[in-house]
Amino acid sequence: MTITVVDHPLARHLLTELRDRTTAPARFRTLTKQLTAILVLESTRDLPTDPRTVETPLERADGSELPAIVAVPILRAGLGMVDAVTELFPGVVFGHIGLERDERTLQPTSYYEKLPPLQGRHVLLLDPMLATGGSAVRAATTIKEKEPAIVRMVCMVAAPEGVKALEAAHSDVPIFAAALDRELNARGYILPGLGDFGDRLYGT
């Protein structure tokens, strides 16, 4: 499987509170930001860097510099993950992909797309929920048409069905998640999951 489940006690703690149905939107947003930071750090662990030499007050020191990264949140729920990425990588450039699942067919419909040049760049695809995988597959297809160097998917909760779908369509897109849950229900919601992420984030 191309999924890495980030197994850190803090990640488990934050996810538990996110799952809790009594967690209100204000707290939900804070938890989303904190958990995203952990997941994004893990997903960029092997990001290649360029060498950079600096002068310390005492002598020269060899160091390194990050390449420009691009983050692409899938609207709307992926927007909750943006602040953490901005704080970790102030030089990040953003693209946006708007997708909404049809409640009946579970197929994503595209309603917005604005992407910067991606050729040769490192892309983080941000969406907290990987359910059927339809949205992630569609977004990864759109991104890969622009020939990035690497695409990585960062999500909070993944379902086995979504992992399988993304793996089948894009085996070169590794997934970083806080949990791999049991299954989808008949309405395409992840079990045990945390409900509708966008609604809980925005108090809809």
> What residues are labeled active site?
101, 105, 196, 199
CA angle 1, 191, 45 (to 5 degrees): 40
Taking CB under 6 A as the rule, does residue 131 contact ligand PRP? yes
- Alpha-carbon 89 to chain mean position: 14
Binder of residue 162, out of ligand URA, ligand PRP, none (CB less than 5 to 8 A by kind): ligand PRP
CB of 56 to ligand URA, least distance (A): 48
73 part of the interface to ligand PRP, by CB under 6 A: no
Least distance in angstroms from the C-beta of 82 to ligand URA:
17
Minimum CB separation of residue 126 from ligand PRP in Å reads 10
Q: Is the peptide bond before 76 cis (omega within 30 degrees of 0)?
A: yes
The binder of 134, among ligand PRP, ligand URA, none, by C-beta within 5 to 8 A per type, is: ligand PRP
* Sheet arrangement for strand 129-130: 129-130, 157-158, 179-180
Q: Closer CB to ligand PRP, residue 6 or residue 163? A: 163
Pair type for strands 175-177 and 3-5: parallel
- Considering only residues 75-104, where is the footprint of ligand PRP by CB under 6 A? 76-77, 99-101
Gap between the Cα atoms of 23 and 8, Å rounded: 21
One-letter identity of residue 93: V
| CA 17 to centroid of chain Cα atoms | 19
- Rule CB under 6 A: is residue 108 a binding residue for ligand PRP? yes
Any residues with CB less than 8 A from the CB of 144 and at least 6 apart, and which?
A: 151, 170
We find the least distance from the C-beta atom of residue 54 to ligand URA, in angstroms, to be 44
Residues near ligand PRP (CB under 6 A) are 74, 76-77, 99-101, 106, 108, 127-136, 162, 188, 197-198
